[in-house]
Structures are given as structure tokens and as C-alpha cells.
Amino acid sequence: MKTAVPYMIPYKKNYRIEISDVDFMKTLKLSTLFDYFQEAAVIDVDRRGFGIDDFKNKFNFTWILTRMKVNIFRNPVFGEEISIQTWQQEQKQLEFERDFLARDCNGNIIAAAISNWIILDITTRKIMRTELIGESPCTPGMKSAIDCKLGKLKSFGKLELSYKKVIGYSDTDFNGHLNNTRYVDYAMDCFNVKDHEKYNAKTIEINYISEALPGDTIILCKDVSALNSSLVYIEGINEKSKKAVFKAQVEITQRDVQKNS
């Protein structure tokens, strides 16, 4: 029996939720879920022949995540075993669409995500056309994990200062800039501990707009004018350039304390 062509089936990776993966409520941190998604995506592009090192050596390109939306149906807890499934959608002119599903040990979907990725020239920092790397076919027969298109986010009303963050060594990734999962932590830090005791993130959507480097100061602002609709808008702004680094929209829901305790 022949081995299946890598893109013909979604890539799947199993995880056991460890103590370092959870928050003070023993539920999986949202940034850790993003870490799982990122790791699965990296492995899948590698098996497609576009792994990080080969990509750099052959084309001088790197992958950049530009937009992502995650729907959370249940927050898994410490000690649980879950799986992450990922696959590529149709290759576009300037971007790739990649989807994810997280399932518990019984196969129930606990989170779904869609994302957009671009390829960037490492030297010029310019976005490159996807055709330059050849064809990377979509995974056949796989529907979108979330039936919507990702677009630009904007505030509902007035932004108010939450806090400032100086980017340090521990915030950076192999590209030397702020890792996409850290944006999630920064957004979640715009809520205080009592907020996290009472609410969960039901949906989070992020626009990654510009790079943040070690030494940069990010001003984190929050807009709660749509809180009646359970929506909170968050924006990170580079203090020096005054340009947006990322924009996020979080839909919150009441936390089931009894289930998560």
C-alpha cells in the first residue's frame, strides 16, 4: 500500500495538557491553544516541502500569520488529552488559508479556527506572490472549520489605555520579532483576574498588522463600548511609531465555574 501524499489528509497531532499550559483556573490558556495550532501548522508545511529551514534556504522566505479567528466551544483542563487537526485551503495569489480543529479524547470538537498566512522575503520584508514557491494543493474534501471570511477589525468607539508592555527576549520567536501567541497573552492581560474568574473567551479574532521587535513599547488599549453585545475590542499600538501592531476582537461568555473547578 502506497503512503498517502502529505496534503491528501489533514495533519493531526496529540497533546496532553500539562500544568504549564493552564491558567489559575486549571483551564487551557488561549495562548497555549495558539501554540498548538502554530506547531501543527509548522509540521504540516514541512511535510509539504515548505518547512521553515528549507523555505529560508531555497527562497529566503518565511511564513507570517496575518489573521486568525478561533471559536471556543469548551475549555479543556489540566490533564486532558486533546488533538489538533490542520489542513490547507485553496492557495490564493498573495496568501494561504489554513484551518484547524481541536478535539477532546472522545472526538468532540472543542475549538475551531481559520487563518490567513503570507510569505515574506526575509531581506526586503516584502510580501511575495504565492506562485513563487510553486503549487501547494489544498486538502481535498475538507470544508472550512468556520464558515466566514477574515477581514479588517476596527474599534466600536473610544479606546482606553489598559497598560504598556516592553517587548523582551522571552517574547520573540525564530524570526526575531514578537511571536503571534504572545499577542494573545497581551490581549488577555487587558482583562483583570476577576474578569477571568467570571468570563471565558468564546471567540477571538486577531489581525496581525506590523512587526514588534525587542525593545519596542506596545500600548495596549481596550474598547468596551460594545460590551452589551459581549464584544471587547483590543488594540496594541507601537509607542514610538504610533502605528497599530495588532487588533483583536474578543467575544466573552459566562464561565462555568463548577465544570472547570
Q: Is the pLDDT of residue 258 over 50?
A: no
Q: What is the pLDDT of residue 48?
A: 85
181/103 Cα distance (integer angstroms): 20
Please give the grid coordinates belonging to residue 117.
498566512
Distance CA 200, CA 259 (A): 13
Q: Give the percent of the chain with pLDDT over 90.
A: 78
Q: Which residue has the higher pLDDT, 5 or 157?
A: 157
* Whether the predicted pLDDT of 259 surpasses 50: no
Mean pLDDT across the chain: 92
CATH number belonging to the domain at 152-261, selected among 2.30.30.90, 3.40.50.620, 3.40.1350.10, 3.10.129.10 = 3.10.129.10
- pLDDT bin (cut points 50, 70, 90) of residue 5 is low
What's the pLDDT band for 255 if we cut at 50, 70, 90? confident
Q: Which grid cell sits at 164?
A: 504598556
- Distance (Å, whole) CA 176 – CA 110: 32
Indicate the pLDDT class of residue 261, thresholds 50, 70 and 90: very low
Give the C-alpha distances (Å, rounded to integers) separating 132 from 68, 92, 135.
Answer: 24, 12, 9
Q: Which of 183 and 174 is assigned the larger pLDDT?
A: 183
Share of the chain above pLDDT 70, in %: 96
> In whole angstroms, how far apart are CA 152 and each of 184, 217, 219, 224?
17, 23, 20, 18
Q: Is the C-alpha dihedral spanning 236, 254, 103, 192 positive or negative?
A: positive
Task: List, for residues 10-61, the tens digit of each pLDDT value.
Answer: 999 999 999 999 999 999 999 999 999 999 999 999 988 888 888 888 899 9
- Segment 142-167, tens digit of pLDDT: 999 999 999 999 999 999 999 999 99
pLDDT band at residue 257, thresholds of 50, 70 and 90? low
Tens digit of each residue's pLDDT (9 = 90 or more) over 222-236: 999 999 999 999 999
DSSP string spanning the chain? -PPPPGGGS-EEEEEE--GGGB-TTSBBPHHHHHHHHHHHHHHHHHHTT--HHHHHHHHSEEEEEEEEEEEES---BTT-EEEEEEEEEEE-SS-EEEEEEEE-TTS-EEEEEEEEEEEEETTT--EE-GGGG---PPPTTPPPSSSS-------SS--EEEEEEE--GGGB-TTSSB-HHHHHHHHHTTS-HHHHHHEEEEEEEEEE-S---TT-EEEEEEE-TTGGGTEEEEEEEETTT--EEEEEEEEEEE--HHHH-
| pLDDT of 240 over the 60 cut | yes
- For residue range 201-223, what is the model confidence (pLDDT) as tens digits? 999 999 999 989 999 999 999 99
Q: What architecture (CATH level 2) is domain 1-151? A: Roll (3.10)
Domain with CATH 3.10.129.10 in the chain: 1-151, 152-261
